[in-house]
Amino acid sequence: MEKKPEWLKVRYNQEAVNEVAELMKGLKLNTVCKEANCPNLGECYLKHTATFMLLGSICTRNCRFCNVPHGKPLPPDPEEPRHVAEAAKKMGLRHVVLTCATRDDLTDGGAEHFAKTIRAIREVSPGTTIETLISDMKLNTDALDVVMEARPEVLNHNVETVKELQKEVRPSAAYERSLDVLRYCKKKDPSVLTKTGFMVGLGETEEQIDRLLDDILETGCDILTIGQYLQPSKEHIPLARYASPEDFARYKEIALAKGFRHVASAPLARSSYKAWEALEDVHDLY
Amino acid sequence: MEKKIVMPKLRPEMKSGILCAWLKEEGEDVKAGEPLYEVETDKVVNQIEASESGVLEKQLYEEGDEVKALDPVAVIRM
């Protein structure tokens, strides 16, 4: 294993992790924090924040960067929307991020389940803002409409990497399709903030990143996250490089200059890490 | 009273972890929440916080040792 740079150190508090893990287990809920082996789990759980992973922890796709297991998923749990709302209330979350493994086996890609969960949270915790981090739902606009009509504050869908590396990194997805998801959702309801993110460290060049930023911005996207790719295991796509904190600061400067409204760019930035701060920052601009 | 600090299971499938650095010496005061030692995993280096305040009585492993998940790594006297 290559020696980790100084900036990839995270704090871990077992008690805080146990507390959130037990709440999730009690309500039969999954978090992407645990399933994706997120490096920020310790910090987020200590702050009592987590990202709910709807529709089970098994994915129908097999992206080469991702730690979420691939396989045949279970049918949706009809009680899950209510359980998520209950957990969000118990944890006192002011901002909830909902995501899911890609569910190509479901006709609507899980859209209705997202909508039900949004409505359940609104009912028990009306002051909580909601962010949906969705799959591309095969660009099924009926499915995307269902999510958008439930009116999350933020619609997030990750492009993950530059155009040139899409096939290698996420063979079942497509660059243009992901951009179209962002474009379609923005057009459908411009009052919903759109957000996307990508990783660096997969072998992309500076020019490719620059073109990626332009392509994302062209969809009308408001919020951007840029983080370091961290290889979950030897079986995953190899790490090409560790970008330095200075590199991330430069990407942020470039993205803001191009016109993004909020950019979180740091080695450990993740799509839902400190998601509330991004929303607050953009809302302050209104 | 003594309290044993164990190697956390940093992910469900973790069998063991490499204790890559001690951040406190034997005999040093430790406050709950302070980082006590580091464990390297595939993605990052985790600084494991002490769960109790007291004095680090004993380091049970040396830097570089592989420790089974949930095995004691240190003793804290409270």
- Predicted confidence band at A226 (pLDDT cuts at 50, 70, 90)? very high
Using one digit for the tens of pLDDT, what is the confidence trace for A3-21? 899 999 999 988 888 888 8
| Better-scored residue on pLDDT, A260 or A14 | A260
Question: What are chain B's domains?
Answer: 2-77 (2.40.50.100)
Q: What is the pLDDT of residues A180-205, one digit of tens each?
A: 999 999 999 999 999 999 999 999 99
For residue A42, the model assigns a pLDDT of 85
Instruction: Please indicate whether, in this complex, the C-beta atoms of B42 and A230 are within 8 angstroms of each other.
Output: yes
CB pairs under 8 A between A and B: 55
Residue A284 predicted with pLDDT over 60: no
* A39/B contact by beta carbon, under 8 A: yes
pTM of the model: 0.93
DSSP-derived letter for residue A244 is: P
In 10 A of CB B27, how many CB atoms?
Answer: 10
pLDDT, one tens digit per residue, over A82-102 is: 999 999 999 889 899 999 999
Q: Which long-range contacts (CB under 8 A, 24 or more apart) does A251-256 make?
A: A251/A200, A251/A209, A251/A226, A252/A226, A254/A210, A254/A213, A255/A213, A255/A224, A255/A226
- Quickly list DSSP for A115-144: HHHHHHHHHH-TT-EEEEE---GGG-HHHH
The stretch A257-283 carries a mean pLDDT of 91
Chain B residues in contact with A230 by the CB 8 A cut-off are 42-44
Contact predicate B9/B69, CB 8 Å: yes
Residue A118's nearest CA partner among A34, A192, A67 is A192
Amino acid making up residue A56: G
Q: By the CB < 8 Å criterion, does A191 face chain B? A: no
Looking at domain A6-284, its CATH class is alpha beta
Q: Which chain A residue has its CA at the smallest distance from B7's CA?
A: A14
Quick one: pLDDT at residue A263? 97
Q: Please state, in angstroms and rounded to a whole number, the distance separating the CA atoms of residues A109 and A55.
A: 10
In chain B, residues with a C-beta closer than 8 Å to the C-beta of A232 are: 42-43
pLDDT tens digit string along A162-185? 999 999 999 999 999 999 999 999
Across the range A208-236, mean pLDDT stands at 96
Angle at A42 between CA A193 and CA A14, to 5 degrees: 150
Task: Assess whether pLDDT exceeds 60 at residue A286.
Answer: no
Smallest Cβ–Cβ distance between A42 and the set B40, B46, B51 belongs to B46
Contact A124, A91 (CB under 8 A): no
Q: Is A283 within 8 Å of chain B by CB?
A: no
ipTM entry: 0.91
